Amino acid sequence: MTQNEEMSMLAQRVYTHIVNQGQASMNDDRCEYLADDGSKCAAGIFITDYDSSMEGNLFKDLCELSINSSKIEPVAYKHSRFVTMLQSVHDSAAHDANDFIIRFKEYLIRWINNWNEKYGTDVKIPE
């Protein structure tokens, strides 16, 4: 699988998860990898062995700590900066609870287009 295909797959998984979940993953107005109600954020779905000490850290920062490498899906670990961008899409849209899904979709399209332009990639927009 090419780098573009891997990142497209990650974006599609996040899109499908968020749309099916129907809400942001939040506790007390804070975005969380895993919220008390069981919801997961865009990056949280790639964490295979969750620990509450992960909260408050960007996904790429978790990946930089070698202790966490076994707790994160390998393809997400490999593309940690891209997953961190997806995390930022979730977090940016999360504070508009009434229109979260609409905002999430809008931001996702914009941010992936910006990513492609900045890095010369061809990540597909999820459907």
Which residue shows structure tokens 């927009």?
125
Dist. CA 100–CA 26, nearest whole Å: 12
127 part of a folded domain:
no
pLDDT tens-digit series, residues 44-103: 999 999 999 999 999 999 998 866 788 999 999 999 999 999 999 999 999 877 899 999
pLDDT at 74: 95
Q: For residue 30, tell me if it sits in a domain.
A: yes
Q: Which domain holds residue 29?
A: 3-116
Within-domain flag for 95: yes
Q: Give the list of residues 6+ apart from residue 58 with CB closer than 8 angstroms, or none.
A: 84, 87
Q: Please indicate, yes or no, if residue 122 is contained in any of the structural domains.
A: no
Please write the tens of the pLDDT for every residue from 113-125: 999 999 999 999 9
The total number of structural domains in the chain stands at: 1
Q: Residue 39's pLDDT band (boundaries 50, 70, 90)?
A: very high
Residue 64 lies in a domain: yes
In a domain, 121, yes or no: no
Backbone angles phi, psi at 121, to 5 degrees: -95, 175
CB contact at 8 A, 70 and 47: no
pLDDT at 43: 98
- Predicted TM-score (pTM) of this structure: 0.94
For 116-127, give the DSSP string. HHHHT--PPPP-
